[in-house]
Amino acid sequence: MKSTIAFFFLTLTVFNAKAQESNKWVSLFDGKTLSGWHSFKNPGMTPSWTVKDDAIYLDVTNKQGRGDLVTDKSFEDFHLKFEWKVAPKSNSGLIFLVDEKSKDASWQTGPEFQLIDNTGYPEPLGPKQYSGSLYDLIACPAEYAKPTGEWNKSEIIVEKGRITFIVNDKKVVDALLWDKDWNAMIAGSKFAGYKNFAKTSKGSLALQDHGGEVWFKNIMIKNL
């Protein structure tokens, strides 16, 4: 009897230890290399993405291969923290729940945390195109992002089908995936024609190459 009880508590202790381990914050960028990342749908690495000033940087002057930078690992329920900045006139994004097995582009499968020069982008922007928006779906007030060229702190939380965005300590997005309101939003957006958009509950993270300079640092994730 005693051995059975001891085994039970040992098993419980191991289970709790594993649970605590899985819920720890993990860095996705070591500040020096692009270890843990790869080019979208390519196991290799494009020279356009590099490390500069302790940040992941997209060098748009490098024409020897372009494309999104994607995590080697996939994530389901998670809490992501990261810092970002864009150069004047630049456009980018952090796309999540990306399905690399699909034939589509990253943004055609995963929702996007929009990153853009709110005030100097050369084309007119709608409210759902400002930095911090759930791109083309839910708007983030333009004033929540810091002036172009300054670092912003942001968070993406995906838990039990709910998406939350936080920009510089302000909650800007709170939405449920796959309910009738979500489906109505999709139907009224540019994603209406993409059958694989936001269909998976688990996927990669992608740093978008949209042709403009962008920096990312202090990228941390925790499984929920």
Residue 188 lies in a domain: yes
Residue 100 lies in a domain: yes
What is residue 172's predicted lDDT score, i.e. its pLDDT? Answer: 97
What is residue 65's predicted lDDT score, i.e. its pLDDT? Answer: 81
C-alpha–C-alpha distance, residues 87 and 89, integer Å = 6
Residue 174 lies in a domain: yes
Residue 157 confidence (pLDDT) above 90: yes
What is residue 64's predicted lDDT score, i.e. its pLDDT? Answer: 79
Any idea which residue has 């923290």 for tokens? 81
Residue 99 lies in a domain: yes
For 25-63, how does the pLDDT look when each residue is reduced to its tens digit (9 = 90+)? 999 999 999 999 999 999 888 889 999 999 999 999 987
Exposure class string for 152-191: b at 16+ Cβ within 10 A, else e: bebbbbbeeeebebbbeeeebbebebeeeebeebbeebeb
Structural domain including 202 reads 25-223
CATH number of the domain at 155, please: 2.60.120.560
Residue 2 lies in a domain: no
Residue 147, classed as helix, strand or coil, is coil
Residue 3 lies in a domain: no
Residue 17 lies in a domain: no
For 77-126, how does the pLDDT look when each residue is reduced to its tens digit (9 = 90+)? 999 999 999 999 999 999 999 999 999 999 999 999 999 999 999 999 99
What is residue 3's predicted lDDT score, i.e. its pLDDT? Answer: 60
What is residue 63's predicted lDDT score, i.e. its pLDDT? Answer: 78
What is residue 12's predicted lDDT score, i.e. its pLDDT? Answer: 45
| More confident: 148 or 65 | 148
What is residue 19's predicted lDDT score, i.e. its pLDDT? Answer: 47
> What band does 1 get if pLDDT is binned at 50, 70 and 90?
low
- As given in the structure block, the two tokens for residue 124 are 């007119």
| More confident: 30 or 16 | 30
| More confident: 2 or 67 | 67
- Specify the number of domains making up the chain: 1
Residue 10 confidence (pLDDT) above 70: no
C-alpha–C-alpha distance, residues 118 and 143, integer Å = 9
For 174-221, how does the pLDDT look when each residue is reduced to its tens digit (9 = 90+)? 999 999 999 999 999 999 999 999 999 999 999 999 999 999 999 999
What is residue 5's predicted lDDT score, i.e. its pLDDT? Answer: 55
Spell out the residues 6+ positions from residue 63 whose beta carbon is closer than 8 angstroms to its own: none
Residue 19 lies in a domain: no
Residue 2 confidence (pLDDT) above 70: no
Mean pLDDT of 156-169: 98
